[in-house]
Amino acid sequence: MAYRTALREGRVRRDAIPRCLYDLHLVVDDEDAPGFCVPVPPEGARFAVVGPIEDQMAEQRRKLRAVQARLASFESVYSQEQDAAQPLTVRLTGKAAINAALEVAVGGCRKELLTAQPGGGRSESALHDALGRDLRALGRGVRQRTIYQHTVYTHRPTMAYIEQVTAAGAEVRTLAEILERVIVCDREVAFIPLSEDASAGALQIRDPAVVRFVVRFFDQVWERSVPVRAEDPAQRSPVVTTDLRQSILRAVVAGETDSAIARRLGMSRRSVAEHIRKVSDHLGSGSRAQLGYLLATSGLLDRDE
């Protein structure tokens, strides 16, 4: 090894020195003996080789900080212009368009995801689409709160979805009746139905005032809802059973048909009819009109249990 020879002998012929020793400044020409080189300690060579590189890196870091600072000064201008150019409301029609918008919104969600899902149990395709989005959001630390109707307790696919998202950290509650389907991401963008017909499409909202209103609506419904029990989500609590029964009876007093009640509470018409039949038998009612009168005067609607 040429460097070892130079150290042992004090110098070595120049033509026996590999180029790398020159590049690393480990040898220099011997001024007293032309044609020979003398070795340099690695620590001394370090200053000669590494010093200029460190100076270049420091200069590049200074340039990087300067560029970042200049770009940062334009970020607020860009954001303002983007917000101004972005429509406050967008009509979404078709499953593909709605799912694409939801993927973007939920995919960009970083803090909070709020959803209210009326209509009882959801279709397996909708649950499949939602599960991936929701688990990814929960994995990022997003707080998810979801409200369903009490009738999901009898829908196994929806309950299976609830078990998976609650295990990942989501909070799920149920209520007898939910007025509208709602999805809100980070209190910045909300999705609501275009009409009572779910197939008509959805409205994407970015207007801060409207989104704030939707969030307040959600929070009020959330406070009145019953938590799904994580230890046994398939077992309905007495509160859920009573709440559902009372909602059906109040609808009967209000003169609603079985079909209307079923749509509103997210359950089958047959289940509604069975609930009403049991109460009719209990009160000895012979007609729907008589049942409404007996309910209004019996005190059943005033009971908590």
Q: For residue 284, tell me if it sits in a domain.
A: yes
**Which segments of 41-179 does DSSP mark as H helices, in order?**
42-85, 95-107, 124-139, 156-167
Report which of 112, 130, 113, 133 is spatially closest to residue 121, judged by C-alpha positions.
Answer: 130
Q: For residue 271, tell me if it sits in a domain.
A: yes
Region of 157 (left: φ > 0; alpha: ψ -120 to 50; beta: rest) is alpha
Whether 96 and 176 map to the same domain: the answer is yes
Whether 248 and 218 map to the same domain: the answer is no
Q: For residue 47, tell me if it sits in a domain.
A: no
Residues in the chain: 305
Q: Which domain holds residue 269?
A: 238-302
Whether 99 and 211 map to the same domain: the answer is yes
Sign of the torsion formed by the C-alpha atoms of 95, 97, 100 and 105: negative
Whether 94 and 203 map to the same domain: the answer is yes
177 phi/psi in degrees, rounded to 5? -140, 135
Q: What is the pTM of this model?
A: 0.60
Please report, in tens digits, the pLDDT of each residue of the chain (305 residues total).
778 887 888 887 888 888 888 788 888 888 778 888 888 888 878 888 888 888 889 899 999 998 888 888 888 777 777 666 678 889 999 888 988 998 889 888 999 999 998 887 888 888 988 898 899 999 999 999 999 988 888 888 999 999 999 999 999 999 888 778 899 999 999 999 988 776 788 999 999 999 999 999 999 999 988 888 755 554 555 666 677 778 888 888 878 888 888 877 777 888 888 888 888 887 878 788 777 777 777 777 765 44
Whether 203 and 242 map to the same domain: the answer is no
Whether 137 and 165 map to the same domain: the answer is yes
CATH classification at residue 242: 1.10.10.10
CATH classification at residue 105: 3.30.870.10
- How many structural domains are present in the chain? 3
- Pair 165, 172: CB distance under 8 Å: yes
Whether 174 and 276 map to the same domain: the answer is no
Q: For residue 78, tell me if it sits in a domain.
A: no
- Residue 281's identity, in one-letter code, is D
Q: What gap in Å lies between CA 66 and CA 56, rounded to an integer? A: 15
Whether 149 and 100 map to the same domain: the answer is yes
